[in-house]
Amino acid sequence: MTAPAALLRTAAELEAFGPAPSAAGTGAARADRAVVMTMGALHEGHASLIRTARALVKDAGQVVVTVFVNPLQFGEAADLERYPRTLDADLAVAGEAGADAVFAPSADEVYPGGEPQVRISAGPMGERLEGASRPGHFDGMLTVVAKLFHLTRPDVAFFGQKDAQQLALIRRMVRDLNFPVEIVGVETAREADGLALSSRNRFLDPHERRTALALSRALFAARDRLAAQQALHARARATGATQDRAAGLNRLGEARLAADAQAVARALPDDGPAAVRAAARAVLEEASAASPPLDLDYVALVDPADFTEIPDDRTAGDAVLAVAARVGATRLIDNIPLTFGAPT
């Protein structure tokens, strides 16, 4: 069994641990040091990030996992106290996945003298969706990410696509403020039944967990609706399907073929976003009547660059379908990337 990762508690210990030796001439990949930032309670989703980091930097590089429950990201003290702390288990998970070290500083180490007076503002994007539901959350997140970048000095940092808005904001901060680090997003890890892996899942009882599956079901239903629509578009282009063709088939007594041709002809490109939203909402509305019910915060189809809403007339380009809801006392988020106008 792989040994647990080394535990580093202070900036001085992290400095002494040192960056990875130069990879020049060793055949190593692009980066010497990769960092995976977490708040602990590591699960398979975090392990996937660590494994991806290890695969990139190879043996000549170094993978550091940060474990820090950042008080600036919590609006209520009760939520901060409730957040799970499982450092011993985290060390084992990190080591098994390929991390060299876990940097787990105290709040005093990260914020000497108390919470910082100067912070990074997330700007307009930070006020949308999660930012509207959790005011100040993204300012606190970016502030600690910036501090941890300075402390760990990574060449590349890995973040999960599950926190899509967070990932977009970190990328924007790095670009806008010229941080010398590459940001890599890693696909959301899921349970076999589709539930996105999250440290908060442990708070769900079996009945709540059953209701929580509506989040991923809604996303998959929207994805499938878009895929079906794009398949119809492709057939319409390939066959030249029109309402006249459908009417002609109907006159010939080919009712089934006529109905199919009519469905293809009606597959208009500009109903994509509306159809995606409708497919997701249908699943979520059904879950709102479940026991226990799903209490929807938002479902939004947004531009991944700035998290503004995609207009209904969008016919091409990338999007993120994001959802947030409470089940019992637990708030969950999930999302899925989509591409409109994709070839089939």
For the annotated catalytic residues, the residue numbers are 46
Q: Cβ(219)–Cβ(284) under 8 Å? A: no
Q: Is 89 exposed, middle or buried (0-12, 13-18, 19+ CB in 10 A)?
A: middle
Helix (H, G, I), strand (E, B) or coil at 273: helix
Length of the chain: 344
The full DSSP string for 135-174 is: TTHHHHHHHHHHHHHHHH--SEEEEEGGGHHHHHHHHHHH
Secondary structure tally for the chain: helices H, strands E: 12, 9
Q: Is 122 exposed, middle or buried (0-12, 13-18, 19+ CB in 10 A)?
A: buried
Q: How many other CB atoms are found less than 10 A from the CB of residue 331?
A: 16
Q: Quote the tokens at residue 273.
A: 């976003």
